[in-house]
Amino acid sequence: MLYLWLKALHIVSMVCWFAGLFYLPRLFVYHAQSEDTISKERFSTMERKLYRGIMGPAMIATLIFGIALIGLNPGIFSQGAWIHAKLTLVVILIGYHHMCGAQVKRFARGENTRSHVFYRWFNEVPVLILLAIVILVVVRPF
């Protein structure tokens, strides 16, 4: 029963984390398009609160619950290479998360050099990672 509770909490945490990973780059799009000081300050505040208040804790909770699941079922590593591929994507996603954090700081300092078009493409990265992770976990293709 503990395993199922941890799995549920892992999924809920992951959904919260991805909500932020989808929304923050969208804020970057709007921030890059803004021209007035009030809008820029408002976007910086929204970005900072989303990153620190929601995304950071959700990422940590996702990792804690995921590690706990592995701890309760270490044999998962012998069930196929899918788990190794999933964990590799999670490491990439953590890197993406930190890239977003660095960008939050750049915007706050007024040092953004990228266009809204860049952020529209940047926003697609977590979508592709989520798609791959869900397929790996559900289908277990290898």
Segments making up each domain of the chain, as ranges: 1-139
Q: Could you list the residues known to form a binding site for heme, using ranges.
A: 10, 86
Band (76; pLDDT cuts 50, 70, 90): very high
Q: What angle do CA 135, 139, 142 make, to 5 degrees?
A: 100
* pLDDT tens digits, 12-56: 999 999 999 999 999 999 999 999 999 999 999 999 999 999 999
55 and 100 Cβ atoms separated by less than 8 Å: yes
**Mean pLDDT, the chain, as a whole number?**
98
Please tell me the predicted confidence (pLDDT) of residue 108: 98
What percent of the chain is modeled with pLDDT above 90?
100
Please tell me the predicted confidence (pLDDT) of residue 100: 98
Q: Could you list the residues known to form a binding site, using ranges.
A: 10, 86
Residue recorded with tokens 């791959």: 132
Please tell me the predicted confidence (pLDDT) of residue 64: 98
Q: C-alpha distances in angstroms, 130 versus 19, 52, 88, 137?
A: 11, 21, 12, 11
Residue type, 103: Q
63-80 burial: b if 16+ Cβ within 10 Å, else e: bebbebbeeeeeeeeeee
